[in-house]
Amino acid sequence: MQRWEVRNQEGRKDWRESGGTGNRKDKKTNEELNTRIGAGFNCFGHFEWIIDAQTGEAVKWRRLKDRELMAYLVHKRNRFVLKGSILEDLWPGANPEQATAFLHTCVYNIRKMMNTLSCKEKLEYRDNSYRLELLEMWCDTDEFERIASGMEVDASNIDRCEVVAKLYKGNYMDKEGFIWAYESEEALKEIFITLMHQMADFYVSIRNYESA
Protein backbone atom coordinates (compact mmCIF):
# COMPACT_ATOMS: atom_id res chain seq x y z
CA MET A 1 0.00 0.00 0.00
CA GLN A 2 2.71 2.47 0.93
CA ARG A 3 4.52 1.74 -2.33
CA TRP A 4 1.65 3.25 -4.33
CA GLU A 5 1.51 6.35 -2.13
CA VAL A 6 5.24 7.00 -2.46
CA ARG A 7 5.16 6.52 -6.22
CA ASN A 8 2.45 9.13 -6.56
CA GLN A 9 4.09 11.66 -4.24
CA GLU A 10 7.31 11.37 -6.26
CA GLY A 11 5.29 11.99 -9.44
CA ARG A 12 4.38 9.64 -12.28
CA LYS A 13 5.78 10.01 -15.80
CA ASP A 14 3.46 12.12 -17.93
CA TRP A 15 1.58 9.98 -20.48
CA ARG A 16 2.06 12.50 -23.25
CA GLU A 17 5.81 12.15 -22.89
CA SER A 18 5.45 8.41 -23.39
CA GLY A 19 3.73 8.50 -26.75
CA GLY A 20 0.21 8.53 -25.36
CA THR A 21 -3.02 8.97 -27.24
CA GLY A 22 -4.39 11.95 -25.30
CA ASN A 23 -6.79 14.09 -27.33
CA ARG A 24 -7.88 17.71 -27.23
CA LYS A 25 -10.78 16.93 -24.91
CA ASP A 26 -8.46 15.39 -22.34
CA LYS A 27 -6.04 18.30 -22.70
CA LYS A 28 -8.87 20.72 -21.95
CA THR A 29 -9.91 18.63 -18.94
CA ASN A 30 -6.33 18.61 -17.65
CA GLU A 31 -6.06 22.40 -17.98
CA GLU A 32 -9.36 22.85 -16.12
CA LEU A 33 -8.22 20.59 -13.29
CA ASN A 34 -4.90 22.35 -12.96
CA THR A 35 -6.64 25.73 -12.89
CA ARG A 36 -9.12 24.69 -10.22
CA ILE A 37 -6.60 23.12 -7.85
CA GLY A 38 -5.53 26.44 -6.35
CA ALA A 39 -8.85 28.09 -5.51
CA GLY A 40 -10.43 26.29 -2.60
CA PHE A 41 -9.66 23.57 -0.09
CA ASN A 42 -6.90 20.98 -0.27
CA CYS A 43 -7.57 17.97 1.94
CA PHE A 44 -5.02 15.41 0.76
CA GLY A 45 -2.07 15.28 3.13
CA HIS A 46 -2.42 18.60 4.98
CA PHE A 47 -5.66 20.55 5.20
CA GLU A 48 -5.23 23.93 3.55
CA TRP A 49 -7.59 26.78 2.75
CA ILE A 50 -6.01 28.25 -0.39
CA ILE A 51 -6.88 31.90 -0.92
CA ASP A 52 -4.65 32.81 -3.88
CA ALA A 53 -4.82 30.53 -6.90
CA GLN A 54 -1.63 31.85 -8.50
CA THR A 55 0.70 32.00 -5.50
CA GLY A 56 -0.80 29.14 -3.51
CA GLU A 57 -1.11 31.40 -0.47
CA ALA A 58 -3.08 29.76 2.32
CA VAL A 59 -4.93 31.07 5.36
CA LYS A 60 -2.67 31.45 8.40
CA TRP A 61 -4.58 30.31 11.45
CA ARG A 62 -4.13 31.86 14.87
CA ARG A 63 -6.04 29.13 16.69
CA LEU A 64 -5.70 25.42 15.97
CA LYS A 65 -9.30 24.73 16.92
CA ASP A 66 -10.56 27.29 14.38
CA ARG A 67 -8.60 25.39 11.74
CA GLU A 68 -9.91 22.01 12.85
CA LEU A 69 -13.50 23.24 12.84
CA MET A 70 -13.06 24.61 9.32
CA ALA A 71 -11.58 21.28 8.21
CA TYR A 72 -14.52 19.51 9.82
CA LEU A 73 -17.05 21.75 8.09
CA VAL A 74 -15.32 21.18 4.75
CA HIS A 75 -15.37 17.45 5.53
CA LYS A 76 -19.15 17.70 6.09
CA ARG A 77 -19.66 20.35 3.40
CA ASN A 78 -23.05 21.19 1.97
CA ARG A 79 -25.00 19.37 4.68
CA PHE A 80 -26.26 20.35 8.08
CA VAL A 81 -24.49 18.80 11.06
CA LEU A 82 -26.03 18.78 14.51
CA LYS A 83 -24.26 20.95 17.04
CA GLY A 84 -24.11 17.95 19.39
CA SER A 85 -22.23 15.91 16.78
CA ILE A 86 -19.69 18.71 16.29
CA LEU A 87 -19.12 19.00 20.03
CA GLU A 88 -18.71 15.24 20.35
CA ASP A 89 -16.23 15.02 17.47
CA LEU A 90 -14.13 18.10 18.25
CA TRP A 91 -14.41 18.36 22.04
CA PRO A 92 -14.99 14.78 23.22
CA GLY A 93 -15.45 14.50 26.96
CA ALA A 94 -15.41 18.27 27.49
CA ASN A 95 -17.84 20.13 29.70
CA PRO A 96 -20.88 20.80 27.43
CA GLU A 97 -21.18 24.47 28.37
CA GLN A 98 -17.47 25.14 27.88
CA ALA A 99 -17.39 23.18 24.61
CA THR A 100 -20.38 25.15 23.32
CA ALA A 101 -18.66 28.43 24.18
CA PHE A 102 -15.52 27.25 22.35
CA LEU A 103 -17.63 26.29 19.32
CA HIS A 104 -19.32 29.69 19.21
CA THR A 105 -15.93 31.42 19.38
CA CYS A 106 -14.57 29.28 16.52
CA VAL A 107 -17.65 29.91 14.38
CA TYR A 108 -17.32 33.64 14.99
CA ASN A 109 -13.64 33.59 13.99
CA ILE A 110 -14.32 31.57 10.83
CA ARG A 111 -17.17 33.84 9.75
CA LYS A 112 -14.95 36.85 10.38
CA MET A 113 -12.24 35.31 8.20
CA MET A 114 -14.73 34.52 5.45
CA ASN A 115 -16.00 38.08 5.56
CA THR A 116 -12.46 39.48 5.42
CA LEU A 117 -11.74 37.37 2.34
CA SER A 118 -15.07 38.34 0.74
CA CYS A 119 -16.10 34.70 0.40
CA LYS A 120 -19.46 33.89 -1.12
CA GLU A 121 -19.52 30.65 0.82
CA LYS A 122 -21.99 30.53 3.72
CA LEU A 123 -21.63 29.14 7.22
CA GLU A 124 -25.26 28.74 8.23
CA TYR A 125 -26.96 27.85 11.50
CA ARG A 126 -30.43 26.32 11.46
CA ASP A 127 -32.36 23.94 13.71
CA ASN A 128 -29.43 23.51 16.08
CA SER A 129 -27.17 22.54 13.16
CA TYR A 130 -24.35 24.12 11.13
CA ARG A 131 -23.65 23.89 7.42
CA LEU A 132 -20.79 25.17 5.27
CA GLU A 133 -22.22 25.70 1.80
CA LEU A 134 -19.62 25.78 -0.95
CA LEU A 135 -20.69 28.06 -3.78
CA GLU A 136 -17.52 28.97 -5.68
CA MET A 137 -14.63 27.38 -3.82
CA TRP A 138 -13.36 23.99 -4.80
CA CYS A 139 -12.32 20.91 -2.85
CA ASP A 140 -9.67 18.56 -4.23
CA THR A 141 -11.43 15.45 -2.96
CA ASP A 142 -14.61 16.29 -4.91
CA GLU A 143 -12.68 16.40 -8.18
CA PHE A 144 -10.73 13.27 -7.29
CA GLU A 145 -13.84 11.25 -6.48
CA ARG A 146 -15.78 12.53 -9.48
CA ILE A 147 -13.18 11.23 -11.91
CA ALA A 148 -11.52 8.34 -10.07
CA SER A 149 -14.55 6.55 -8.62
CA GLY A 150 -15.64 3.71 -10.87
CA MET A 151 -13.19 4.71 -13.60
CA GLU A 152 -12.28 2.05 -16.16
CA VAL A 153 -8.85 3.14 -17.37
CA ASP A 154 -8.24 3.05 -21.12
CA ALA A 155 -6.56 5.09 -23.87
CA SER A 156 -9.42 7.59 -23.97
CA ASN A 157 -9.06 8.68 -20.34
CA ILE A 158 -5.49 7.89 -19.28
CA ASP A 159 -4.52 11.58 -19.43
CA ARG A 160 -7.35 12.47 -17.05
CA CYS A 161 -6.31 9.65 -14.73
CA GLU A 162 -2.73 10.91 -14.63
CA VAL A 163 -3.87 14.42 -13.71
CA VAL A 164 -6.36 13.35 -11.06
CA ALA A 165 -3.82 10.95 -9.52
CA LYS A 166 -1.54 13.92 -8.90
CA LEU A 167 -4.24 15.46 -6.72
CA TYR A 168 -3.54 12.69 -4.22
CA LYS A 169 -0.63 14.31 -2.37
CA GLY A 170 -1.05 12.07 0.66
CA ASN A 171 -3.81 10.33 2.53
CA TYR A 172 -6.92 12.36 3.37
CA MET A 173 -5.99 14.86 6.13
CA ASP A 174 -3.36 12.32 7.11
CA LYS A 175 -0.96 14.90 8.56
CA GLU A 176 -3.61 16.34 10.88
CA GLY A 177 -4.45 13.36 13.07
CA PHE A 178 -8.19 14.08 13.02
CA ILE A 179 -9.93 10.95 14.32
CA TRP A 180 -13.22 11.96 12.68
CA ALA A 181 -11.52 11.90 9.23
CA TYR A 182 -10.29 8.30 9.46
CA GLU A 183 -13.24 6.62 7.71
CA SER A 184 -13.00 8.93 4.70
CA GLU A 185 -9.22 8.54 4.68
CA GLU A 186 -9.55 4.78 4.24
CA ALA A 187 -12.25 5.07 1.57
CA LEU A 188 -10.27 7.57 -0.53
CA LYS A 189 -7.09 5.55 -0.13
CA GLU A 190 -8.89 2.51 -1.52
CA ILE A 191 -10.09 4.50 -4.54
CA PHE A 192 -6.54 5.75 -5.15
CA ILE A 193 -4.94 2.30 -4.90
CA THR A 194 -7.54 0.85 -7.27
CA LEU A 195 -6.85 3.67 -9.75
CA MET A 196 -3.09 3.09 -9.54
CA HIS A 197 -3.50 -0.63 -10.17
CA GLN A 198 -5.73 0.02 -13.18
CA MET A 199 -3.30 2.56 -14.61
CA ALA A 200 -0.39 0.15 -14.15
CA ASP A 201 -2.36 -2.64 -15.84
CA PHE A 202 -3.16 -0.33 -18.77
CA TYR A 203 0.48 0.64 -19.28
CA VAL A 204 1.55 -3.01 -19.13
CA SER A 205 -1.12 -3.87 -21.71
CA ILE A 206 0.45 -1.41 -24.19
CA ARG A 207 3.97 -2.45 -23.15
CA ASN A 208 4.77 0.93 -21.63
CA TYR A 209 6.64 -0.64 -18.71
CA GLU A 210 8.39 2.54 -17.64
CA SER A 211 5.14 4.32 -16.77
CA ALA A 212 3.72 1.17 -15.16
Q: pLDDT digits over 120-131, tens only?
A: 899 999 999 999
DSSP bridge partners of 48 = 42
Per-residue pLDDT of 49-62, as tens digits, reads 998 877 889 999 99
CA distances 126 to 67, 83, 94, 123, 207, Å, are: 22, 10, 23, 10, 57
Mean pLDDT across the chain, nearest whole number? 83
In this predicted structure, what is the pLDDT of residue 52?
81
Tell me: the pLDDT tens digits for 131-181? 999 998 989 999 899 888 877 888 888 888 898 899 999 999 999 999 999
Q: Is the pLDDT of residue 209 over 70?
A: no
Q: Which of 58, 44, 33, 54 is nearest to 143 (CA)?
A: 33
172 DSSP assignment: B
pLDDT at 185 over 80: yes
Examine the pLDDT at 108 and tell me if it is beyond 70: yes
- Rounded to two decimals, the pTM is 0.80
